[in-house]
């Protein structure tokens, strides 16, 4: 088995706040990130797939295929948007942790449908000091 990691970027905004908490509780828990006006990030995204190398191409997965999946299912959907308004975050705060889980969920089946490679990891870089990795449930 071999792993391939591709890196991407997208800009998006979010508000870290729960609807069922008071403004004071949200500010206590999330600090300035609970500002109702929201704030943005230039997110870095790493997507890692694993599988056997195709003997005829010498590749695990056609890179353009993975790039297209990420462009369509993540960058076009989340880019320059307020993540709180996306249905993937209905009932969930769009923290870096939940963003990583949502992206994994959006990519897992399409990657599996593209060939022998399987999605194994999504890493979201929110800031220079903060990144989150999600590896799925299996």
Q: Which of 41, 106, 125, 126 is catalytic?
A: 126
16 contacts 26 by C-beta, under 8 angstroms: yes
Residue 125 dihedral angles phi and psi, to the nearest 5°: -100, 110
Closest to 93 (Cα-Cα) out of 10, 74, 42, 101: 101
130-134, strands of its sheet edge to edge: 2-14, 39-51, 118-127, 130-134
Establish whether 7 is a catalytic residue: no
Active site residue 41: no
Active-site residue, selected from the candidate residues 41, 80, 81, 106: 80
DSSP class of residue 54 equals P
**Residue 106 annotated in active site:** no
Q: Which of 14, 33, 46, 97 is catalytic?
A: 33
Question: If DSSP codes are grouped into helix, strand and coil, which group holds residue 136?
Answer: coil
Q: How far apart are CA 63 and CA 117, in angstroms?
A: 11
| Residues known to be catalytic | 33, 80, 126
């Amino acid at each position: 088995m071999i792993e391939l990691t591709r890196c991407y970027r997208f800009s998006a905004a979010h508000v870290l706040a729960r609807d069922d908490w008071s403004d004071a509780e949200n500010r206590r828990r999330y600090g300035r990130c609970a500002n109702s006006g929201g704030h943005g990030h230039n997110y870095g995204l790493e997507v890692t797939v694993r599988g056997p190398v195709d003997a005829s191409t010498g590749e695990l997965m056609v890179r353009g295929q993975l790039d297209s999946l990420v462009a369509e299912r993540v960058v076009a959907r989340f880019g320059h948007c307020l993540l709180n308004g996306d249905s993937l975050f209905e009932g969930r705060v769009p923290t870096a942790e939940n963003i990583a889980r949502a992206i994994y969920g959006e990519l897992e089946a399409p990657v599996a449908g593209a060939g022998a490679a399987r999605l194994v990891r999504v890493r979201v870089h929110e800031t220079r000091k903060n990144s989150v990795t999600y590896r799925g449930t299996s």
